[in-house]
Amino acid sequence: MLKQVSIYAENKKGCFQNITGLLNDNSINILGSVTNDSAEYGIIRMVVSDPEKCVEVLKNNGYICKTTTVLAVECPDEVGALDKILKTLYSSNINVNYIYLSFNRDSGLPIMVMHTEDVAQVENILINKGYNCI
């Protein structure tokens, strides 16, 4: 399981770059990210190399952010791989709230970062079905 940082950011020119600049200045690597926007504010979700430091840096610079536990599951780089994972979860009556893509820097394989209600339960289900959870 991983800690994800969720950042509530104003939807204006330069805001995202300001965040990435702060992370760069503090040697925090972005390992995966997804952004959801609305008219005035958006949510930037990131898996980073040091989530605690990331939250500290961003809060000290006026951003509202928090950490959330997420699951990262490695999947083959082939057609239907995500569909198989989701079918496994569906058959276990698991709802996936959101999902985004990253990759395993060691193996080079895609990693699906996902949020569910019970991350530990989902991790056990996937491991028992032969998946590699990071």
Residues 28-59 pLDDT 10s = 999 999 998 777 888 999 999 999 999 999 99
- In CATH, which superfamily holds the domain spanning 70-133? VC0802-like (3.30.2130.10)
Rounded CA gap, 57 and 26, in Å?
8
In the numeric block, the tokens 């569906």 are attached to 90
Q: Indicate the domain borders of the chain.
A: 2-68, 70-133
Q: Model's pTM, two decimal places? A: 0.87
In angstroms, the CA 102 to CA 121 distance is: 22
User: Regarding the domain delimited by 2-68, which CATH topology (the fold level of the hierarchy) does it fall under?
Assistant: VC0802-like (3.30.2130)
Q: Do domains 2-68 and 70-133 have the same CATH topology?
A: yes
